[in-house]
Amino acid sequence: MEKKKISLKKKVQSKYKYTNLFKFNIPYPENKFVMYTRGRTGSTVLTDLINCHPDIYCDVEIFNFLYSNNKVKYPLLYINSCSKRAALYRKKVYGFKVKIGQLMNEHKYADYDKLLTKLHQEGWKYIYLKRVNFLRHQLSNIVAANTNVYHLKNGEQKHKEKILVKCEQLLRGIEYGEKSRKKRKKI
């Protein structure tokens, strides 16, 4: 019974990804931005800070499968539908986070750079977060994956157990960072 409830919920959510497009009484935001990032760059902290502003609503990683529930077939329409959330929260500015890996690996958009260019042409501004030290970035990824601790808030303590770091995994992460940087330079 529980599985049926979950699958029905996912079906309903996936069908209603674009519903705000047809709610003509909900206006589009005056200003829009994309926080373009990789994981472990401080985007969650920045999102929390931005959301303290009375006129700005910064959404979650809308292309994360936890929120989109499955592949987004029409990303521009989906983004425009999500952007109307600003008005629902009585905000004038809308932004959302997106990670390069969500576009490349989860949704498999071969031409995600065209999507980002199109948003720029439509007036979207970009906040680009990066870590320039790929070694530290990958170590942060490994620690988070092994401890299942991705964010520390309100005085929470760091994990103190030793973690085994495999050289191959570390090198793959560094190479991925370098490859991603070259791809971003083209955009």
3-state class (DSSP) for residue 72:
coil
Identity of the amino acid at 154: N
Token digits for 66? 């936890």
**pLDDT, tens only, 108-134:** 999 999 999 999 999 999 999 999 999
What is the chain's pLDDT, residue by residue, as a tens digit (187 residues)?
A: 445 544 544 444 455 789 999 999 999 999 999 999 989 999 999 999 999 999 999 999 999 998 888 899 999 999 999 999 999 999 999 999 999 889 988 999 999 999 999 999 999 999 999 999 999 989 998 988 888 888 888 877 877 888 999 999 999 989 988 887 776 666 5
In a domain, 64, yes or no: yes
In a domain, 114, yes or no: yes
In a domain, 5, yes or no: no
Q: At what angle do helices 167-186 and 134-147 cross, to 10 degrees?
A: 120
Q: What is this structure's pTM?
A: 0.84
Same domain, 73 and 123: yes
In a domain, 3, yes or no: no
Domain that holds residue 155: 132-187
In a domain, 153, yes or no: yes
Question: CB of 94 within 8 A of CB of 35?
Answer: no
Token digits for 43? 């985007």
Same domain, 111 and 143: no
Same domain, 75 and 105: yes
Domain tally for the chain?
2
